[in-house]
Structure 1
Amino acid sequence: MKVTDFLKNQYRHFNAAALIDAAEGYKTHLAKGNKMLVTLAGAMSTAELGISLAEMIRQDKIHAISCTGANLEEDIFNLVAHDFYERIPHYRDLTAQDEEDLLNRHMNRVTDTCIPEMEAMRRIEDTVLKFWEKADQAGDAYFPHEFFYQILLSGELEQYYQIDPKDSWMLEAAKKNLPIFVPGWEDSTLGNIYAGHVISGDIKNVHTMKTGIQYMMQLAEWYTQTAKEESTIGFFQIGGGIAGDFPICVVPMLHQDLQRTGVPLWGYFAQISDSTTSYGSYSGAVPNEKITWGKLGKETPKFIVESDATIVAPLIFAIVLDL
């Protein structure tokens, strides 16, 4: 039985039914010739969402991504250092001493998965720094994802690949020059490393790296050029936080601050979240709250699947891919 057939047969109520509804809504949105932006919060790259996300990009089911700096870099960490990762199924039972032992071994824990500092972060740093310094010396400036695109397409990291390259969503995005928006990039390992190199003087101009405000400006132009009344942009949000809050705000900004009133609202909205619906929480806000902020309309298809994104996202992607 196909995955899609199994899900439609078994997933009939509650969050299971919401999963089917969100997936079918996604397919309907694309079938009308519309585009889709996907947002990645949390540690989805370390959860190896790239296995299904890369295929979605390959098949043009995703047209832009907003993600945290961690998701941007951790897909590359996994690409070049996967064999050195360690999984700790009993992570709930770790003592403070166990955690300190991991620290002393330079193993950075993300729930049940430890990222090896030397084989992942420091290996990447040597290559990335070379590209940063080259741009700095030439007086050029690029976004964080553009530096990664340059590095990946140069082939310099191929000697270190430890997974099938087809499972790296960043590599697939680089091949397609997919628009990526990375709010708060400085809140990432490489963001910290970049700051350190500016402080030490290796990078002379801090603005060699384009960041937040410039990302919003680029997003505004991309949205204006891409979203038309006959072809809207959908919003598929994995998790919460800045990866989702940053890009969804572009619509009220275009309408209220730039007076581009002809630009349509987001044409579809779905969120996978394990945040409890609550007052005062962006991640836990129901979709209708976004109507009051000028982000969604009352007719916009809206879906919430309250569950673990590492479980739900690949299943929704399977339906969209008709697997």
Structure 2
Amino acid sequence: MTERPWRYLAFALATIFLLSSPIAFMRLGQLDAGVDPTSHTQRRAYDIIAAKFTAGANDPLLVTYTGAGGNPRAELFRQEVQTDSDVASATIIARSETTSVLHVVPVAAGRSTRTADLVDRLRSMSTAESPVRVGGASAAYVDFTKRIDERLMLVVGVTIALSFVALLISFRAPVVAAKSAVLNGFSIAASLGVIVAVFQLAWDWPIPSFMPILVFALVFGLSMDYEVFILSRVREDYLESTDDDDANQRSIVSGVASSAQVIAPAALIMIAVFAGFALDPDGNIRVIGVALSVAILIDATLIRLVVIPSTMMLLGRLNWWPAVPGGTASKTGVVALLE
């Protein structure tokens, strides 16, 4: 990496970009019993209901309609709902003088985009005079997914900004702090791209809506640990080296080699643990296992052993600006804490 940094960096970034590209097609949602193994009783019950009625009968919608027209107007509303191509049946199951409750059975499964679109269409039928409210498990999943969508980028942005501040305080090097904060997100993006390709594009599963935030939180924390280990060692060697043109290269080689003895076993243990989760019959646990295993594998190999050394080699003295080798700057990070 230190001899041909451009070549290795281009290869690593191209690989990460390729693995991350399926994120553009990511569809958030919730998994249901339809993705469980066929040996499970809940999956067999799900299949029987889907075969005898529709897949949407496993997660029906409850729709309340309130209007001044009373029962005749509620019946017209029911007929209007029934005409929707994604509605298998719409039945009034309770009513009062002004409010009726409809049991609406979608054609598609609750995890389908067709059902999510149906929920939106039913809610769009609401007016000031005749409000429509949609409930049920599928509607709750739609609301939860939208809330995650609204907050996801905010969570990511705030976390990266805070990590930049933490690294800046620890190492007093703005360039390396900014680079590290951004690179820590690469392995997360690649892992999310892999689960989209495997579970959504290949198996037609939605990605559980809580998954991106969960993976981001866990992997970002582990990535920061690995980053601090490497940077602390490299910085120590750089500050203690003589002020010559090879100081940066020597510190990178020495720091990465020594810290790899800690990072590699830790990463292998974590990959083995999460790979076990990937074999779990529960769909949510399986997605988590694959995402975390891939993220840690990419982070411990491409990011820590290729991207970090290559970028630090290309940046040269700019990495630790304004510090200079051979100076009296104090040690920081993990090294300082251990001593």
Structure 1 and Structure 2 fold alike (TM over 0.5) = no
From the two aligned structures, give the one with the greater helix fraction.
2
TM-score (norm 1): 0.22
